[in-house]
Each structure stands twice: as C-alpha cells, then as structure tokens.
Chain A
Amino acid sequence: MTYSHEKDFLSLGGRTFRSRLLVGTGKYATFPLMKEALEKSEAEIVTVAVRRVNLNRSAESLLDYIDTRRFTVLPNTAGCYTADDAIRTACLGREAGLSNWVKLEVIGNEKTLFPDTEALLSATRTLVKEGFVVLPYTNDDPIMARKLQDAGAAAVMPLGAPIGSGMGIQNPANIRIILESATVPVIVDAGVGTASDASVAMELGCDAVLMNTGIAGAQDPVAMAEAMKLAVRAGRLAFKAGRIAQKLYASASSPLQGISQ
C-alpha cells in the first residue's frame, strides 16, 4: 500500500500532529523574523524558555508573535543544572503557559551542554508523578533512553550532536538501537545543522526532529525553515518507502539483453 503523508500523524503525549518538525524560538534577530520562520516551517510545536521578567524596560512579549491557536507552546528547562532547578522551572512554565507539557533539560556541563542523565531521570520520575507530559532531552545512550521511557517519559529526545553545534547525527548506530526498543516517539533534539541532517534522522526511523539554531542561525532563517520542513518530510517518506540495500558493486538499471550490435 502506498504511503500517504496526509494520513501519517505524529502521536505525542496523547495528541496528534501533522508536522514532525519541532522548532525553537531562540536566537532570532527579531521577533517578526522568528514569526515568519515558524510559519514557514509548518511546525506545530514550538519550544520556549522560562526567564525573569525584565522590570526595567517594557520589552515586547515573545507570545505576541506566536499564534497559540496554531502552535503548541512547549516550555523548556534550559539552563537548569540540577533536578530541583529543572522541576521548579517546569512548574513555573506550567503556571505561565497553563499547559503540563515540558521539554526537560538538566544540563551537566556548560561547554558541551550534555545532559546530566542521572538528574534527568530523577526529574523525569518526579514530573511524571506530578502529571506532566515529559519530553526529556537526553544523550544518545540506548540504556538511558529505555530508563526514561520506563519512568513514564512521553518521548525520548536524544541529541544528534551538541546543542547548537550543527554537527548532524554523530552516532546513527545508537539512534537505531534506541529506535529498536522504543515504545514512545523518538525525537532527535539538537545538532541538526542543515537539511540533510534532518533527513538522516527521519530516514533512520525517528518520529520527529527538534531544532533551533539550525534554522535561527542560518543566513536566511525563513528559507532554512522551509528546507527543514521539506527535509523532514522527505526523510520520513524515504523511511516509509523502504530504501534499497547498500551493495558494493553495480547492478545495471537497463536490460542487459537486446543491445544492438
């Protein structure tokens, strides 16, 4: 049966989505530019950070540029280095956004921004008990992915490469192993630098891709947003279509018989 993009929904946290691209809202030069890129990406879930209100100047609000009827706002716990900090930030995000979804990050090191997976697992357990839909940013370790899944995470989100590095999927073999035993969606989060990286993630069989810098940091973020949208869709199509096996030697595409002599 032919695969139909129209009928292929992402099922996440008890909801369904048409788009398999999740995008961040950080690092844009201006809010109008961000708005245009978000729209062009056709993403339905956008991540945001939780930070102190600036009391000394009345800055424009991010949410003035995000149509919350169209986009699901997913607060993150970026910048948190302990489970307690991440839990507190998740609770603040829930109050601010009136949604119980959280992109859970517990960072272990400021240079690599790699996750502290021990603290991540602990925070996941607590937040799941508190009724959150927890989407944890983790490393590409299949054992940790399984533990997060067992702890009740609604998805596992392994990094492709360090946040903002644009290095692509550094360990596709591990992503494949994570996919083999996953019963929740697997979303590659971080490391995507260009369209082919997003396609690789989807061709491996990932359920979705989350990126921020790859789009926001491009010279033309709006064009890159469209490229990423197409790349995610192309990768998904190729995965569903079932690629040919890789072989060392040629296999002629044209008939070997009937060559005119």
Chain B
Amino acid sequence: METKDILVFIEQRNNVIQNVSYELLSEARKLVKQIKHVKFEVVGILLGNNLGQLPHDVLNHGADRVYVADHPELSHYSTLRYTHVISELIKQHKPDSFLIGASVIGRDLAPRIAARIDTGLTADATKIEINPNEENTSELWITRPAFGGNLFGTIVCPNHRPQMATIRPQVLDADFYQLNRPGIIVNLPYKPMEDNVRILNRIEKHQSGPDITHAQILISGGRGMLEHFELLDELAQLSGGVVAASRGVVDKGAASKDIQVGQTGKTVRPRLYLACGISGAVQHTAGMDKSETILAINSDPQAPIFSVATIGIVGDAKTILPLVIENLKHHKLKHH
C-alpha cells in the first residue's frame, strides 16, 4: 500500500478555525520530523465558504499543503457533504494517517469517513506517538482513556490506511507558527448535493458565567465545598480567577453545568487550578490534569486528587480559604 503524509481536518465554524486544528497541525509537524525513512508532509483539508485568508493561516500553523473546498453548501458542517468531499480526497491522495479534533463535529464526521473508506479509527485520544520499538516506521501508537478514565489503552491500526484518530481538544500544544510560511493551496472541485439533514435554527446557549476554558486561574470546588461556594466566588474575584466545579456539585444543583470540569464537562488547562474539596475521580482529573500548576486542598490524605497535584495540602478548605481571602485583601491594600 503506497501511502504518504499526515492529513489534518481543519475545523472552521463561522469561518473561525478551531484551536484544536492548530493543535493537530503542530503535533503533525512533530510527528513528520520523527518519521525519518520517508519524507512526509503535513496536509490540511479545509471546507467552508468565502474562506479568504484561512488557507494561509493553515500553512502558517504548520501545513505544507492545504486542500480547500469553498462552496456555499459547505459553509456549515454537513455530515453528508463533508464525508463525501473528504473521503474522495483520501482515495485520491492516500494519506498514511488522518487526524481530526474530537469536537462534536469531529466525532460525527470521523466515524462516518472511517466506515466509508473501511479503516480503523481511534476515538478521543490524548496522546500520539510513532511506534517507539521499530525503526523506519510511520505506525502511530495512539493512547486514549477508556472505562470512564479508569484505564488507558494504546491502540494501533496495523493493516489499514489511513490510520485515523480523533484527538481531544486542549491536550496538545498549538506551538507552531510561522508568518508567511510558503506552501501549496489546492482548490478541490465541489458538485452540489442534496442534503437529507436541514438546519432550521441555531440556538445560542446562554453562558451564565465566564468561560472556564479560557481562564488563567480556576478556583474549583467539589462536594467538600457544598454550601460554601461563596468562599470560592470571593476568592475568584480577588484573584481574577473563575469558579469551576466537579460533577459532584453540578449533580447536586449547586453549580451550573457550564462550569463542570472533567470527562463529561470541559477540559481546562489554566496556569493554576486550585482544587478545593474535590476527591479527584479519574473522570474529573481527565479534564484538568494538564493544568500548569495544580494545588489541591483535601481533608483526606488518601484522596486521589493528590496524585495529580503539584502541591497537595491535607486540611479543611472551609477554614483555610477564609484565611487566604484575608491574605489577598491585605496584599491588595498594601500594593495600592
């Protein structure tokens, strides 16, 4: 089987390229560098309408080549149309691997394509590496959590190409960028096709608070802080942070689902994650263990949160946090 290159799905919504696509382009650059016996390129596939400058953004973020399908029927995601265009491209270009962000769109699209072209697909991965045991290989070893994060599995796809994976947003770094990076832009033909799914309306979910996925400091509370979230609110306000919560709290109705961290909540990666009264079940840590610094307060020295914490404090958060609040107020007074 003659295959080449790493293909990356570039997801745009309202003509904004989603950050996970940039994360994948950066990762693909690292991977092609490690594949030494053959020269692989990083190739993007971008679908939409009136895309303007976007193909150049894809090159600047690490693609050597980008295939573009620009047509009014492609402006919004459509399972049928996107599957068709991308599957045709795969049959023609024959990529060795194909990476897709594990967003709602990515997880709708990727299995449909994998079924059409009959190849393997690893879902919702958190790590990709080249088979470390062999030389002259481009086989991907893709690691993902399963059983609610209790177990991790490394998945391979030995006999089918492309090897496909959806990768969870925010677990890889989007650290490649080069202004005016040269590359090839190829326009793909598109023939209109009737869709059997019609979009009637788009309903914005009202976001009741600030977005926890963009905060630098997260003050996060678990069931150990129930009925004391006002401490977290005050601390967040003083530190310029945002309050987050575990599912234990959200299920009790004490916090909104928007601020839930974890497997069924959001994946966050702040500079500081302060975990107060959170036990640290794997479903929770799956959403926050990439934070730069994790500070955990828990009264139970055996709490699993301590196994992911940078600094763990065994103690009562309800006594400690009021003191932190006093300290911060004091600090602010002194420095104004």
Partners in one complex: no
